[in-house]
């Protein structure tokens, strides 16, 4: 039986712990958080054991780091000596923003590192998580990790150097998508649709369009063109969006997230 330890059971850490609990693997889950109540609340939902950082550091085969970057140094100091004394194999799985594999390996005594960049929809099993392995992650650990996280949604391996750029799409994108749903809903409300219904219509439209692209792999421009009849309603809307800088605004937003990360 593998022991999976989560240090940090906030939104993302809790979501990945939930996925691990749904994996069907024979595992022991340890939940540690600065607020023990948060860990207790999660334990009541998914099972596992409420624990602490030192116990996770001492016993876990896979140590998931779900803390904020500014908290990492303090957390690390509390478990550094325990990890240094361990003689067995263990793997760091980090979702700490801005900390690359090289930095993490230097901190954690050159042990194998899996860097994961999940997004908000992992909380409902529909997430998209980028991941990258350090060269020394064994094949069995790679396979186990993918099975462990399968219930979180889609997992895509990425070269680490591309993570800052891709993360703007996968990590920040849900916020942009939610703004798009909200804006479409506002427009529909202005036209007389109830707000409750308007958000559902907008979200289902977005979901369906995404599935259409993923199944057909048609260029997004071709999908747009197929909806735009000559002198029709859609091309009029597209013209208005272009006039107001819709695509340019999204491009600039993605560039801004990339520049902030690097």
Over the stretch 50-81, which tens digit does the pLDDT of each residue have?
999 999 999 999 999 999 999 999 999 999 99
Q: Percentage of residues in the chain with pLDDT exceeding 90?
A: 97
Per-residue pLDDT at 237 exceeds 90: yes
In whole angstroms, give the CA distance from residue 184 to residue 207.
Answer: 14
Count CA atoms within 13 Å of residue 242 on its CB side. 6
What per-residue confidence (pLDDT) applies to 46?
97
The confidence score (pLDDT) of residue 139 equals: 98
Tokens of 29: 């889950």
Do the beta carbons of residue 72 and residue 34 sit within 8 Å?
A: no
Asked whether residue 148 carries a pLDDT value surpassing 80, the answer given is: yes
CA 112, distance to chain mean position in Å, is 21
The pLDDT assigned to 173 comes to: 96
* Average pLDDT of every residue of the chain: 97
Assigned CATH for 2-160:
3.40.50.720
Segment 119-136, tens digit of pLDDT = 999 999 999 999 999 999
Question: Which pLDDT score, from 0 to 100, does residue 124 have?
Answer: 95
- pLDDT attached to residue 261: 79
- Whether 262 shows a pLDDT value over 90: the answer reads no
- Assess whether pLDDT exceeds 80 at residue 212: yes
Domain ranges of the chain: 2-160, 173-261
**Contact call for residues 254 and 169 (beta carbons, < 8 A):** yes
Residue 83: closest CA among 114, 112, 109:
109
Spatial distance between the Cα atoms of 177 and 128, rounded to a whole number of angstroms: 14
- Mean pLDDT over residues 170-190, rounded? 97
- Give the whole-number percent of the chain exceeding pLDDT 70: 100
Q: How much is the average pLDDT of 18-29?
A: 98
Q: Looking at residues 104-116, what average pLDDT do you find?
A: 97
Q: How far apart are CA 20 and CA 75, in angstroms?
A: 23
DSSP, res 114: E
| Class level of CATH domain 173-261 | mainly alpha
């Amino acid at each position: 039986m593998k022991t999976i330890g989560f240090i940090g059971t906030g939104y993302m850490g809790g979501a990945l712990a939930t996925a691990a609990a749904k994996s069907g693997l024979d595992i022991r889950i340890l939940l540690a958080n600065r607020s023990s109540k948060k860990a207790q609340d999660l334990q009541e939902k998914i099972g596992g054991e409420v624990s602490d950082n030192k116990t996770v550091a001492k016993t876990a085969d896979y140590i998931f780091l779900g803390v904020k970057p500014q908290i990492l140094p303090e957390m690390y100091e509390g478990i550094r000596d325990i990890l240094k004394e361990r003689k067995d194999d263990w793997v760091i799985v980090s979702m700490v923003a801005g900390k690359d594999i090289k930095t993490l390996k230097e901190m954690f005594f050159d042990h194998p590192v899996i860097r994961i960049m999940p997004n908000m929809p992992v909380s409902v099993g529909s997430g998209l998580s980028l991941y990258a392995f350090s060269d020394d992650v064994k094949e069995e650990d790679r396979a186990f990790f993918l099975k462990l996280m399968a219930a979180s949604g889609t997992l895509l391996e990425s070269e680490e150097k591309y993570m800052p750029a891709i993360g703007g799409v996968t990590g920040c994108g849900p916020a942009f998508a939610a703004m798009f749903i909200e804006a479409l809903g506002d427009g529909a409300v202005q036209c007389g649709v109830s707000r409750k219904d308007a958000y559902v219509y907008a979200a289902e439209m977005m979901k369906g369009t995404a599935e259409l692209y993923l199944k057909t792999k048609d260029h997004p421009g071709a999908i747009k063109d197929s909806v735009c009849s000559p002198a029709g309603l859609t091309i009029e809307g597209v013209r208005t969006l272009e006039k107001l800088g819709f695509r340019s605004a999204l491009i600039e937003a993605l560039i801004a997230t990339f520049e902030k990360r690097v």
